[in-house]
Amino acid sequence: MTTPRKPDPDMLDDLVAANRILVEQGVMQAYGHVSARDPRDPDRYWLSRSSPPAMVTHDHILEFDLDSRPVAPNPPKLYEERAIHGEIFRARPDVMCVIHNHCESLIPFCNTDVKLRPMVGNAWFLRDGPPVFDIRDIDDTGDMNVCTAAQGQGLARSLGRNAVCLMRGHGVVVVGATISEAVRRSISCDANARLQLQSMPLGPVKFLTQVEIDFRVNGGSRDSERGWDMWKKRALEAVRAGE
């Protein structure tokens, strides 16, 4: 029998802030979710109960095992796509945060053969274009939501070692070694997609070169936390103000 615990306070603040930041930055609207692996136990993760991300507070965050079952009894209504989180955490021990959203700017790259490729330095993690998961490769019931363990495992296989996996007709998953990294990547994905869509009608696009991507892969020019610090402060002030 598993015993529910109190969440790590720093992780909890980051997780609540992440939900609100992604709405504030236009990446998420009414749907989408953010989870964090427990920093003390790699077999547990934390995720809000079913709630619009703009309304997530500290009290909403619940503990789950990697089968995406809530640890505490008598849970409230939960997100149906929890298998996304549990199966990616199981497949990727390096991942500490999983973000799933339905960012509209990404859908053209989910549903065509055009690759989403990095145009700006902070989108380097897109490399030569993220993979696209098609749920019909797992089953073809017509439901496009990733709700079963088999579907979550299929998505985790498509993600592979990448930071991003697009989902046909649906959205995206973005992962990171920290919550702030996954949030910054989600914002950069959206910005890069919009820039690429604006640029392609103008003519051939100059994407990052392999040398420029390798420089970042090898740890050159670390991503700054300045933006995150500002966004987090604002988000937690809004939570305290009851907004």
Contact 97, 178 (CB under 8 A): yes
Q: DSSP label at 222?
A: P
Dig out the tokens for 104 from the structure: 């509209």
Residue 112: count of CB within 10 angstroms of its CB: 10
The answer to whether 181 is a known catalytic residue is: no
Residue 132 host element (H or E): strand 132-133
Where does residue 15 rank: exposed (0-12), middle (13-18), buried (19+ CB within 10 A)?
A: buried
Separation between Cα atoms, residue 24 and residue 47, nearest integer Å: 19
Question: Which residue, 49, 152, 149, is CA-closest to 34?
Answer: 49
Where does residue 53 rank: exposed (0-12), middle (13-18), buried (19+ CB within 10 A)?
A: buried
Question: Which residue, 98, 38, 44, is CA-closest to 67?
Answer: 44
Catalytic pick from 24, 63, 80, 81?
A: 81
Active site residues: 81
